[in-house]
Amino acid sequence: MSIAKKLFGSLRPNTVNKHNYPAFTRSVEEQYLQTLLTNTMSNTFYADQNELVSEAAQLHHEMADANPTFMAKAIVFARNEGFMRLQPLFGLAILSQYRPDLFALIFMQVIRIPSDLSDFLTMLNGLGRGEGGRSVKRQVNRFLASVSEYWAMKYSGHGRGYSLGDAIATAHPKPQDLKQQALFRYLRGQEANLALLPQVEALEKLKLASTEQEQIAWIERGKLPYETVTGAIKPSKAVWEALLYQMPTFALLRHMNALLRVGVLEKGKNLDYVIQRITDKQALRKAKILPFRLATAFRQVEHPDLQDALREATDLTFDNLPDLGERTAIFLDISGSMSGQYLEIGSVFALALYKKTQGNSLFWLFDTDVVDAKPSRKDSILTQAAQIHARGGTDTGAPVRKLIQENKKVDQIIMITDEQQNSGSSFYQELNRYRSKVNGDVKAFIVDIAPYRHAMVPFQDPQTFYIYGWSDTVLAYIAQSVRGYSTLVERVAAIELED
């Protein structure tokens, strides 16, 4: 094959998207990162759950066969920097079959909490691997050695496929001391010395408590977390109030409506406490709250003070994003296939990017037409995101054509989209025209928040970068890449695997 054929032979579209519109096939590494970081296993606009799971399984097997080392690094990256769970766990289950050594190396970096272990074992069984063999049992034993009373209370129940008790029965770990022996027996549903497990004992006493005062006393004595209490009893207003001060940040977001309904957050110190918690920048980062979680809470909660706090929390989430520079064009796809969570995520991302350009960038919405969103630097991200709605078809070339028509010179183009073009001229065609007519050095960043495997730009283009996922990590990557960083695939490939 000639050099020219190798470099340019696939710069023409070689596949089609869900609308049968011409598209490109990107490298298997790119496709793999996309699958891990969009994490979609539920129905989307163009594909149902079964199709997506089948495609993901195929890609995990392809990656394990072609480049298992990259696969291991990508799984770790997706779990810890992309904040995703199901696809990394799915990949880990398949990797265990191909490369037990790499599987063992990354196991504890991917299986972070007991629900990870439960879902992993469920997937393994669903793949026909049973209990996974000795290599899996060794790693499960390592994890079980770290099980705490808190985990025992939170994850002791059944219903997720494999409980901690099931995992113990499968792996047969040897307890290191009498307390761990009691813990393992409790999780197996066997008689155990609860005097060695004061939190577990408090939970069991809570289940038998006959008065609200007794319930609160056992909650406070055992410092019982909200998940175990709400699973054991139906909380009253007073019990919810007792639980409020020990809830993690993510739990506060999830239960705001419940707390409002029972009257815990009407006013006063409880409301002030929640506002302080969800506007604590360090707590937000530690909790690894995905930005769209804040948008979802904002949409569900009607209390004005809490809405203000959520606005502030969202702006704080992106506060540490490096500056992008002023000559940036941000294009947000608002076509019909972006409706729902995709547009909610995309709007938050786009507005966060706009604010980091100090309001000097272009921010255009597009379907088959292009509209200047005219965002405000002063209004919050969530307030403005709620005003953006999906409509119409998709012409990814439209905003670039407008740049050419108006002869606007930008240094980087950032497009947030699901890439499902169905009309007009392609983004890549117009991007090449822009480079020839206006700025040959412009970089393009495609933020793809959907799991579909085709792309609108060939991977050979050295000035176009693909970013996948729903966490604020993707925005930080854009800012870093503007300053000369490598592609996302190269970044993941550079990860050093450590046990």
Residue 333 and residue 269 share a domain: no
Rounded to 5 degrees, what are φ and ψ at 135?
Answer: -65, -35
**What is the C-alpha separation between 243 and 206, in angstroms, rounded?**
13
Q: Give the residue carrying structure tokens 């577990």.
A: 200
- Whole-angstrom Cα distance, residue 425 to residue 144? 55
Q: Are residues 25 and 171 in the same domain?
A: yes
* Segments forming the whole domain that contains residue 224: 198-287
Residue 304: inside a domain, yes or no? Answer: no
Query: Residue 274 is which amino acid?
Result: V
Does a structural domain hold residue 313?
Answer: no
**Per-residue confidence (pLDDT) for residue 7, from 0 to 100:** 37
Evaluate whether 47 touches 16 at the Cβ level (below 8 Å). no
d(CA 86, CA 53): 11
Dihedrals phi, psi of 76, to nearest 5 degrees: -65, -45
Specify the pLDDT at position 410. 94
User: Is there a contact between 397 and 457 (Cβ–Cβ < 8 Å)?
Assistant: no
Residue 209 amino acid letter: A
Supply the DSSP string of 210-235, one letter for each residue. Answer: -SHHHHHHHHHHHT--HHHHHHHS--
The per-residue pLDDT for 271 is 94
Tell me, yes or no, whether 340 and 216 share the same domain.
no
Do 53 and 36 share a structural domain?
yes
Pairing between strand 328-333 and 362-366? parallel
Please tell me whether the overall predicted TM-score, pTM, comes out greater than 0.95 for this model: no
Give the DSSP letter string of 278-307.
Answer: HT-HHHHHHHT--HHHHHHHHHH---HHHH
Are the CB atoms for 32 and 74 separated by under 8 Å?
yes
Instruction: Choose the final residue of a domain: 161, 191, 221.
Output: 191
**Residue 433's domain is classified under what CATH number?**
3.40.50.410
Check: CB of residue 447 under 8 Å from CB of residue 415: yes
Cα(290)–Cα(470) distance, rounded to whole angstroms?
7
Q: Same domain for 489 and 373?
A: yes
Is residue 345 included in any domain, yes or no? yes
What distance in Å separates the CA atoms of residue 477 and residue 334, rounded to the nearest whole number? 23
In this structure, which amino acid lies at residue 329? A
Are 70 and 118 in a shared domain?
A: yes
Residue 499 lies in a domain: no
329: part of which helix (H) or strand (E)?
Answer: strand 328-333
**Backbone torsions φ then ψ of 332, nearest 5 degrees:** -110, 125
Residue 331: predicted pLDDT: 96
CB atoms within 10 A of CB 163: 21
Q: What are the DSSP calls for 61-102, one per residue?
A: HHHHHH-HHHHHHHHHHHHHTS---HHHHHHHHHHHHH-HHH
175 and 70, same domain (yes or no):
yes
Q: Which helix (H) or strand (E) holds 363?
A: strand 362-366
Distance CA 144, CA 217 (A): 30
| CB-based contact 279:312 (threshold 8 Å) | yes
State whether 185 and 247 are in the same domain. no
176, 219: one domain: no
- As a whole number of Å, the CA-based R_g of the chain is 25
What DSSP element (H or E) covers 178?
helix 178-187
CA distances from 205 to 199, 229, 235, 332, 370 (A): 10, 11, 15, 54, 63
- 296 in a domain, yes or no? no
Q: 420 and 360, same structural domain?
A: yes
Question: Of 175, 191, 207, which residue constitutes the final position of a domain?
Answer: 191
Evaluate whether 449 touches 346 at the Cβ level (below 8 Å).
yes
**H/E element, 27:** none
Report how far residue 14's alpha carbon sits from residue 435's, in angstroms, rounded to the nearest whole number: 22
State in Å, rounded, how far the first CA of the chain is from the last one: 42
Q: Which portions of the chain are predicted below pLDDT 70?
A: 1-11, 14, 16-24, 39-52, 157-161, 320-323, 325, 450-454, 459, 469-477, 479-486
How far is 278 from 261, CA to CA, in rounded Å? 19
Residue 411 lies in a domain: yes
- Report the C-alpha gap between 147 and 180 in whole angstroms: 9
Cross-strand partners of 412: 328, 443
Q: Which helix (H) or strand (E) holds 28?
A: helix 28-38
Same domain, 203 and 279: yes
Asked whether residue 82 falls in the same domain as residue 43, the answer is yes
Instruction: State the total domains in the chain.
Output: 3
Instruction: Using the 3D structure, point to which of 170, 191, 212 is the last residue of a domain.
Output: 191
Rounded-to-integer distance, Cα 60 and Cα 65, Å: 9
